Chain A
Amino acid sequence: MNQTINAVEISGLNKSYGKFQVLRDIDLSVRANERVVICGPSGSGKSTLIRCINQLETHDSGTVRVNGNVLGKGTPRMHALRRDIGMVFQHFNLFPHLTVLQNCTLALRRARAMTHEQANEVARHYLARVRIPEQQDKYPGQLSGGQQQRVAIARALCMNPKVMLFDEPTSALDPEMIKEVLDVMTDLARDGMTMLCVTHEMAFARTVADRVIFMDAGSIVEQAPPETFFSAPSHPRARQFLSQLL
């Protein structure tokens, strides 16, 4: 692996929905093994930004480069490039008609061309890692929200992605289930996974992030290591945001 290639390299990114500009001139690079937390008020473009990284949203102008590949509207074999970019959604988006194990193995079998046995082995490994191996034969509907989100994390990890995107992974969870998901994510961060995480969990940002990015009205208005960001935010909008969280 060439260490000089950034995991994510975004420059001059713009995106609008009709007349409303969601992203304005975003520049962002994320090194391999870096943990970045993106925060900001709702509607500031955080989710849209990370959804541009795996092209669930297409951008209007600027460049998005992930793992050295330029991504955009006409990128050939986009589906193959997405295999190296894991994503965890706010609402889990597990496949309700498949068991936990099948949720994890579907892409391994179809996209990584593994046999059932190989795929099951990989899936069991990651289900153990998110501490949920005993639930493998249940259906998502039979699990709690926290368990479902951990399965969703395992499902993404099975593909052995080079980057993991988290889009408000704990926002749809009951308070008592947030910790179990954050613990799994913290473990993942310790193991050196490259992570971009949109979250409002500031304690998580403080312990895990190498860098906190604050967005407002479609722009990155401040980025700093968590110590600096939380103790002395320089932008007034960031100060206001943090004061409301406390």
Chain B
Amino acid sequence: MKFSLDFALSVVPVILSGLFTTLWITVAACVGASVLGFTFEILRRSNRWLGYVMRFLIDVIRSTPVLVQLYFLYFVMPFYGVTLSAVMAGVLGLSVYYSGYLAEVFKGGIDSIDTGQFEAGKALGLTRMDVVLRIVAPQMLRNVVAPMGNYFVSALKATPYLAVIAVPEMLGIALEVGANSFRYAEPMIAVGIIFLILAVGINQLVRLLEKKMLASSAR
């Protein structure tokens, strides 16, 4: 069976019907992972014992396959009374998985902030929360745009894992097209190209943001 360009073009709109799902899951997972990762890292720093607990948690998250985490959320949790929809489990799974990596990124970003910044905030009588959100977070973000962007692209490329729990994202749709037509080359190539375009787009956006941040920190 030869590769048919006509068939390839005809499956693109079908696959693109999953684009929205892929995109919003990516965005939700990135936001979730950032918030979770930042919270983990701040808690890790807050005191010694909580620090050990968070360190362990971050290491567990980073050291288990994302598929295991997804299966756990979707197939195991219901036995303990927590039933999540496929999409919810997917977003939560990717959020948790990437939160471990982002916590490490944030650690580096916070370590590179001068301790005088924390002290100045403290000396002014700001609460811990205000020091974290108003002084640490904005300065940290300047340091971590590039590595954060990498993980965002990685999260986009991890959305096809959700096909295994039947989330209607692009790879799942492409597989379905393949199964129905017995032609896999066209849908796989199409879905690959769509992901490529999205990933390049995110990378460009991150680079732009990085440039802007560099310009503002040069002030």
A107→B139 contact, CB < 8 A: no
Q: Does A116 contact B (CB under 8 A)?
A: no
Inter-chain CA distance A110–B134, complex, in Å, is: 10
Question: Complex formed: what's the CA distance from A96 to B134 in Å?
Answer: 12
Residues of A within 8 A of B123 (CB): 54, 56, 82, 85-87, 89, 156
B77 to chain A, nearest CB (A): 39
Q: How far is B125's CA from A56's CA once the two chains are assembled, in angstroms?
A: 11
Decide if B126 touches A56 in the complex (CB within 8 Å). Answer: no
- Contact A96 to B130, CB < 8 A, known contacts A56-B123, A83-B124, A111-B125: no
Contact A79 B122 (CB under 8 A): yes
The reply on B63 being an interface residue by CB < 8 A is no
Contact check, B139 vs A159: say whether CB atoms are below 8 A apart: no
Is A159 within 8 A of B119, CB to CB?
no
Give the residue of A81, A97, A110 whose beta carbon is less than 8 angstroms from that of B142: A97
How far does the alpha carbon of A93 sit from the alpha carbon of B123 in the complex, in Å? 11
Q: Are A106 and B126 in contact (CB under 8 A)?
A: yes
A132 to chain B, nearest CB (A): 17
Question: If A93-B117, A95-B117 touch, does A141 touch B122 (CB 8 Å cutoff)?
Answer: no
The answer to the question of A139 belonging to the interface, with a C-beta cut-off of 8 Å to chain B, is yes
Q: For A91, give its contact among B116, B139, B142, B218 (CB under 8 Å).
A: B116
Q: Report yes or no: A111 in contact with B218, Cβ–Cβ below 8 A.
A: no
- CB-CB under 8 A from A80, the residues of chain B are 125
Closest B residue, CB atoms, query A106? B134
0 or 1 for each of A84-114: is its CB under 8 Å from B? (1 = yes): 1111010101111100000000110011000
Number of chain B residues close to chain A: CB under 8 A: 23
Closest beta carbon of chain A to B209's beta carbon, Å: 15
Give the distance to chain B from A83, nearest Cβ to Cβ, in Å: 3
**Min CB distance, A9 to chain B, in Å?**
20
Asked if A142 CB lies within 8 Å of chain B CBs, one says yes
Residue A46 at the chain B interface, CB threshold 8 Å: no
Pick from A56, A79, A85: contact of B127, CB under 8 Å: A79
Contacts of B142 in A (CB 8 A): 97
Contacts A89-B120, A94-B120 given: A79-B128 contact, CB under 8 Å? yes
Docked CA distance A214–B55 (Å): 45
Question: Nearest Cβ distance between residue A35 and chain B, in whole angstroms?
Answer: 20
Please measure, in the bound complex, the distance between the C-alpha atom of A94 and the C-alpha atom of B139, giving whole angstroms: 12
* Neighbour of B119 across the interface among A56, A106, A107, A142, CB < 8 A: A56
Measured in the bound complex, the distance between the Cα atoms of B124 and A107 in whole Å is 6
- Bound-state Cα–Cα, A142 to B119, Å: 22
CB proximity to B under 8 Å, residues A28-50:
none
What's the minimum C-beta distance from B123 to chain A, rounded to whole angstroms? 4
A112-159: which residues lie under 8 A (CB-CB) from chain B? 139, 141-142, 155-156, 159
Q: B217 at interface (Cβ–Cβ under 8 A)? A: yes
Report A54-86 residues with CB < 8 Å from chain B CB.
Answer: 54, 56, 79-86
Name A's B-contacting residues (CB within 8 A): 54, 56, 79-87, 89, 91, 93-97, 106-107, 110-111, 139, 141-142, 155-156, 159
Known: A82-B122, A95-B139. 7 other contacts (CB 8 A): A86-B123, A95-B120, A95-B121, A97-B217, A107-B124, A141-B217, A159-B124
